[in-house]
Amino acid sequence: MYMDEIKIPEAAALIIERLNNAGREAYIVGGCVRDCLLGKAPKDWDITTSALPAEVKALFEHTYDTGIKHGTVTVLIKGESCEVTTYRIDGEYTDKRHPDSVIFTDKLEGDLARRDFTMNAVAYSPKTGFVDRFGGIGDIKSGIIRAVGEPAERFNEDALRMMRALRFSAQLGFEIEGKTFDAIAQNSALIKNVSPERIRDELFKLLLSPDPLKIYSLKQTGILDCVLPLLSALLEERHEEIKRCIGLVPPDIAKRLALLLYSRDKKSIEGFLRALRADNKTIKDIATLSGYMKIQNDFSPYGIRKIICDTSPAMAADIIDMQGILTDEDTSSYKNILKAVIDNGECCSMAELAVNGTDLKALGVADGRQLGELLKKCLDEVLKDPGKNNREYLIKEVCNICTH
| Three-state secondary structure of 132-175 | CCCCHHHHHHHCEECECCCHHHHHHHCCHHHHHHHHHHHHHCCE
Query: Where does the pLDDT of residue 1 fall: very low under 50, low under 70, confident under 90, or very high at 90 and above?
Result: very low
Query: Where does the pLDDT of residue 372 fall: very low under 50, low under 70, confident under 90, or very high at 90 and above?
Result: confident
Write the class of the CATH domain 1-142.
Answer: alpha beta
- How far is 384 from 183, CA to CA, in rounded Å? 60
Query: Where does the pLDDT of residue 371 fall: very low under 50, low under 70, confident under 90, or very high at 90 and above?
Result: confident
Nearest CA-CA partner of 290 in 324, 326, 320, 266: 266
Nearest CA-CA partner of 116 in 130, 97, 143, 131: 97
Average pLDDT value over all residues in the chain: 93
Strand bridging mode 123-125 / 102-104? unpaired
- How far is 364 from 353, CA to CA, in rounded Å? 19
| pLDDT at position 92 | 67
Query: Where does the pLDDT of residue 270 fall: very low under 50, low under 70, confident under 90, or very high at 90 and above?
Result: very high
| pLDDT at position 361 | 82
Strands of 325-378, DSSP E: none
| pLDDT at position 293 | 97
User: Does residue 403 register a pLDDT over 60?
Assistant: no
The per-residue pLDDT for range 293-343, each reduced to its tens digit, is 999 999 999 999 999 999 999 999 999 999 999 999 999 999 999 999 999
Residue spans of the domains in the chain: they are 1-142, 295-343, 350-403
User: Does residue 398 register a pLDDT over 80?
Assistant: no
Q: What is the pTM of this model?
A: 0.90
The per-residue pLDDT for range 109-162, each reduced to its tens digit, is 999 999 999 999 999 999 999 999 999 999 999 999 999 999 999 999 999 999
The per-residue pLDDT for range 15-63, each reduced to its tens digit, is 999 999 999 999 999 999 999 999 999 999 999 999 999 999 999 999 9
The per-residue pLDDT for range 194-253, each reduced to its tens digit, is 999 999 999 999 999 999 999 999 999 999 999 999 999 999 999 999 999 999 999 999
The per-residue pLDDT for range 66-86, each reduced to its tens digit, is 888 889 999 999 889 999 999
User: Does residue 373 register a pLDDT over 90?
Assistant: no
Nearest CA-CA partner of 114 in 86, 152, 163, 154: 154
| pLDDT at position 97 | 59
- How far is 221 from 232, CA to CA, in rounded Å? 11
User: Does residue 94 register a pLDDT over 70?
Assistant: no
Average pLDDT over residues 375-398: 89
- How far is 156 from 153, CA to CA, in rounded Å? 5
